[in-house]
Amino acid sequence: MAIRQHSFFLSEPLALAEVLQAIEQGKNLAQTNLQGINLSQMDLSGIDLSGANLIGANLSKTNLSGANLQGVDLRRANLRDANLSGANLEESYLMRSNLQGCNLVDANLESVKLKLALYDRHTLWPAGFNYQKSEAVGPKASLSGAFLSTANLRGVDLSYSNLRGAYLSGVDLTGANLEGAALSGANLQNAFLTGAYLRNAILIGAELQGADLRAADLTGANLEQLQSIAGADFSLVQGLSEEARAMLRSRSSQELGTWNSFTRNNTAQSLAG
């Protein structure tokens, strides 16, 4: 069986049966189109996938230790809990991929593209690699001024991240961990923060117009000098001090009377509890 190499003109990715047969026979899968393939939990240690198209592939819990992944397109790929230790990822594309729990110890990440890739506290990075400034999204990430509008970040751990001046309008942060996050000047207009953990977060001068903050934990959060809370829904928020609640209630009647188009509550009603 001849393996079809990937090109921009290849209309169909390889079938799973073709790929499994090639792996079994030890054939070269470099430059092949494997878009969307499910190779979850397989042992692909040492495999050569250089230049392959793995956009949207499911590689969760897959053993890719020592694999040649140079120049591979892994955009939106699921690499959760995958083993990439010692793999060559030079010049690979990992934008918007899931690297939560991924083992990247001793991997070659030279010139790798990690913009909006998700990581967490269980992700293991190569020694000395400055992942916090790689444009990836996770704990202690440096994302000042980043454009994350409408991104799906449900349940993501962004604790102690620098999100000053970030564009987060319409972003879904439902249940996200934003403890201690620096959000001063961030645009959170129409953002979904339902049940988000915002303890000790700094929101000085943030834009909260239309934000859904229902059941969010605002214990110790700094809400000073907010740009607008028109249409923001604070129903069932936790940890909001009486002083902070009074400060929010002192906003203009125009802001307080604005209805949230999603929750159908106005801001004044949501602060009445």
Whole-number average pLDDT of the chain: 94
* 129: number of Cβ within 10 Å: 16
Contact by Cβ (8 Å): 206, 183: yes
Residues in the chain: 273
**pLDDT (tens digit per residue) in 116-144:** 999 999 999 999 999 999 999 999 999 99
Average pLDDT over residues 108-123: 97
Rounded to 10 degrees, the C-alpha dihedral 47/17/75/43 comes to -40
**pLDDT (tens digit per residue) in 81-105:** 999 999 999 999 999 999 999 999 9
Average pLDDT over residues 2-21: 70
Under the banding of pLDDT at 50, 70 and 90, the label for residue 12 is: confident
Which stretch of 6-20, 82-96, 205-219, 226-240 has the lowest confidence by average pLDDT? 6-20
Under the banding of pLDDT at 50, 70 and 90, the label for residue 55 is: very high
Contact by Cβ (8 Å): 199, 179: yes
Contact by Cβ (8 Å): 194, 212: yes
